Chain A
Amino acid sequence: MKILYFAGLRQRIGVGEEEIEPPPEIVDVAALIGWLRRRGPDFAEALADTSAIRIAVDQEFAAMDTSLAGAREVALFPPMTGG
């Protein structure tokens, strides 16, 4: 699964894109974020406040309970500030 981080999240985590293989029990977005947090202090800190994180699964907005079944690309980023 490809995972992308944007803006402030990318800076805090220190990587913009990576290939990950979460264990089979990671079935939804909430479980994935929990799993990512355990990968190190940078992840734990950047992903601590889920109210400040927006999620897209295969380029569609997703929620914490969105299933990851068949997901190829997950993106995590802060609230958008375009326009």
Chain B
Amino acid sequence: MTIRVQREDFDVGAEIAALSAGNHRIGGLTSFTGLVRNMGASLGAMTLEHYPGMTEKMLAAIDAQAHERWPLEASLIIHRYGRLEPGDRIVLVITASPHRDAAFDSCRFLIDWLKTKAPFWKLEESADGGERWVAAKASDDHAAARWAKNEG
């Protein structure tokens, strides 16, 4: 229900505490934190570009879908943009529900879907000073398609 697209870092513990504060119908929360990792020849540092306006709209749309499919009490998506270095937090998804299955499944759904539906692009820095746009992965499409099939 809360979407934030921001340059700043976030505090996972504080976000979990804030999301569940005062709501005693919540029986469990699932959180997913994505980090910038070091891959192969790249330095690992990257700059995330996004489409302001559409990004928030798409994240809100997939969040609304999660609320339709699972009995969620609360949800949060934070996605950062700008320059990030290995180890930096890049994305946070938290879902809260009376039941753990709904919390786990909806969290997985949101991270799988936002990878292929939210307009973000990663520009990687390489050791030779060059830059390279990261190519979309077929495995991400497959992960997202898994949820589409379940829609029946």
Contacts and interface: CB of A to CB of B under 8 A. Distances in A.
Contact of B118 (A6, A7, A8, A80): A80
Interface residues of A, number: 16
B1 interface: no
A56 B119 contact: yes
Interface size band for B: 20 to 34
A83 B119 contact: no
Contacts of A78: 121, 133, 136
Contacts, number: 70
Contacts of B136: 78-81
Contact of B51 (A8, A77, A83): A77
B47 to A, nearest CB: 10
B122 interface: yes
A6 B34 contact: no
Contacts of A59: 51, 53-54, 57
B54 A56 contact: yes
B54 A82 contact: no
A80 B117 contact: yes
B133 A8 contact: yes
Most buried by A among B121, B135, B136: B121
Nearest to B140: A83
B49 A6 contact: yes
